[in-house]
Amino acid sequence: MSPELSPIDRAKYIAARRSCDFVESGMRVGLGTGSTAAWMVRRLGERIRDEGLEIVGVPTSTRTADLARQLGIPVSTLDEVKWLDITIDGADEFDETLNLIKGGGGALLQEKIVATASDRMVVIADVEKEVRTLGAFPLPVETIPFGWQTTKALIEETLVNMDVLNRETTLRMNDDVPYVTDEGNYIIDLHLKRIGNARQVALVLNQIPGVVENGLFIDICDAVVIGRSDGSVEVRDLTAGTVAREHLDVLDSDNIFAEKTD
C-alpha cells in the first residue's frame, strides 16, 4: 500500500484490512462493491497468495468479480453456493443501530441479496460514514427502465407522506445517458437529507410498481469495522454487544500495516 494515499483512503484501507480477520479457510464469502470493498478484496487476495487461505468468493458486481479473478480469488455464484458464511461490504452511511444506506456504487440489488443470504454481514467504513440519522447521502432506488418517469413521479408522491426533510429525486446519469446497473435497471436517487423512519420508507418504496429495490439495509448488518487515517480501528459487533478498539501501524519501509493491540 502506497504511503501517498489520502487520509480517507488510508482509513478505508485500515478498515478493509481488519475486516479480513473475520475470514477463515473454508468460508464462502460475499465480496462487496465499491472503493472500500476493493481494498478488502485485495487483502483477501494477499492472504490466498501468502497464507494459503482457501475461500470461495461470491461477488456483488461484475467489477468486483473481475478484480477477484485478477487476484486469484476463486469466484462462484450465489445459486451455486446457496448460502454464505459472511459478506463484507462498504456503506455510504450507517447509524448507531447499524442500519445502512448503500448503492452509491450502483450495486445495491446484488449487495442486498448477497448480504441477506449470509450468516453475518460486516460493514467496512471510514469514520465519516457514521451519522446520527440516515439520509444525508442520497438514497438509491433501483427501478426497471420501462415507465421510469411514472415510477419517479409515484416515488415523489409517496414521499409526501413520509418523515423526510426533502423530496427531490433525480435519475442517475452516466455522462449524458442513464446509468444502467448490472441487471439492466435504472437508479433514481432520492435526496431526502433526513429519514425519520427508515424502516417505513424502505417498506413503502418497495410497494411502488417499477421499483426493484431500495438502498436502505435495515436489520441486515451484524458488525461494522471503522477505520481512521491515524491507524486506529474500531470493531462494533451488534450481535455480541461488544466494541473493540485496536491500532494498525503504517510501516513506510515496506508499505504494509502491522497490527498491534493498545
Digit-coded pLDDT (tens) for 69-119: 999 999 999 999 999 999 999 999 999 999 999 999 999 999 999 999 999
Is 104 known to sit in a ligand binding site?
Answer: yes
Strand pairing partners for 178? 173
Is 254 known to sit in a ligand binding site?
Answer: no
Is 52 known to sit in a ligand binding site?
Answer: no
Average pLDDT of span 19-43: 97
Instruction: Say yes or no: 146 and 125 in one domain.
Output: no
Is 91 known to sit in a ligand binding site?
Answer: yes
Comparison of pLDDT for 248 and 131, the residue scoring more = 131
In a domain, 191, yes or no: yes
Q: Which of 93, 96, 111, 259 is catalytic?
A: 111
What pLDDT, in 10s, does the model give residues 134-181?
Answer: 999 999 999 999 999 999 999 999 999 999 999 999 999 999 999 999
**pTM beyond cutoff 0.75:** yes
CATH number at residue 66: 3.40.50.1360
Instruction: Say yes or no: 246 and 121 in one domain.
Output: yes
pLDDT for 20 beyond 50:
yes
Is 36 known to sit in a ligand binding site?
Answer: yes
What is the residue whose three cell numbers read 408522491? 157
Dihedral (Cα; 148, 154, 156, 158), 10-degree rounding: -150
Q: What are residue 58's phi and psi, to 5 degrees?
A: -115, 105
Query: Domain boundary residue among 180, 195, 214?
Result: 214
In a domain, 21, yes or no: yes
Instruction: Say yes or no: 82 and 50 in one domain.
Output: yes
pLDDT of residue 249: 72
Q: CB within 8 A of 32, min separation 6: which ones?
A: 40, 60, 64, 87, 88, 89, 90, 111, 124
Average pLDDT of span 41-48: 98
Alpha carbons 3 and 54: distance in angstroms, whole number: 29
Q: Among 110, 119, 103, which Cα is nearest to 77's?
A: 110
**Grid cell digits, residue 32:** 462487496
The pLDDT-based confidence of 3 (bands split at 50, 70, 90) is: low
- The range of the structural domain enclosing residue 184 comes to 139-214
pLDDT for 255 beyond 70:
no
Q: Among 198, 149, 147, which Cα is nearest to 170's?
A: 149
In a domain, 1, yes or no: no
In a domain, 250, yes or no: yes
**Strand arrangement of the beta sheet that strand 223-227 belongs to:** 56-59, 28-31, 84-90, 118-126, 223-227, 232-237, 242-251, 256-260
- How many domains are contained in the chain? 2
Is 35 known to sit in a ligand binding site?
Answer: yes
Does the annotation mark 111 as catalytic?
yes
Instruction: Say yes or no: 24 and 69 in one domain.
Output: yes
**Grid cell digits, residue 48:** 490466498
Q: Among 184, 181, 188, which Cα is nearest to 150's?
A: 188
Instruction: Say yes or no: 143 and 21 in one domain.
Output: no
What pLDDT, in 10s, does the model give residues 186-245?
Answer: 999 999 999 999 999 999 999 999 999 999 999 999 999 999 999 999 999 998 999 999
Instruction: Say yes or no: 155 and 92 in one domain.
Output: no
Instruction: Say yes or no: 15 and 99 in one domain.
Output: yes
CATH number at residue 175: 3.30.70.260
